[in-house]
Amino acid sequence: MERVQLPLSELNFEQKLDLLEQLWGNLMNDEERIKAQEWHENVLREREAAFKAGRIKPSDWEEAKKRIYENVSCR
pLDDT at 71: 87
Domain containing 40: what range?
A: 13-71
State how many domains the chain has: 1
Q: What is the pLDDT of residues 3-29, one digit of tens each?
A: 999 999 999 999 999 999 999 899 888
In a domain? residue 2: no
The answer to whether residue 67 sits within a structural domain is yes
Find out whether 67 and 59 touch, Cβ atoms under 8 Å. Answer: yes
- How many residues are listed for the chain in this entry? 75
Confidence of residue 75 (pLDDT cuts 50, 70, 90): low
Taking the C-alpha atoms of residue 50 and residue 14, their distance in angstroms, rounded to an integer, is 38
CA 15/CA 24 separation, integer angstroms? 14
* Average pLDDT value for the chain: 90
Q: Which residues contact 67 (CB under 8 A, 6 or more apart)?
A: 59
Query: What's the pTM value of the predicted model, to 2 decimals?
Result: 0.46
Q: Determine contact, residues 19/11, Cβ cutoff 8 Å.
A: yes
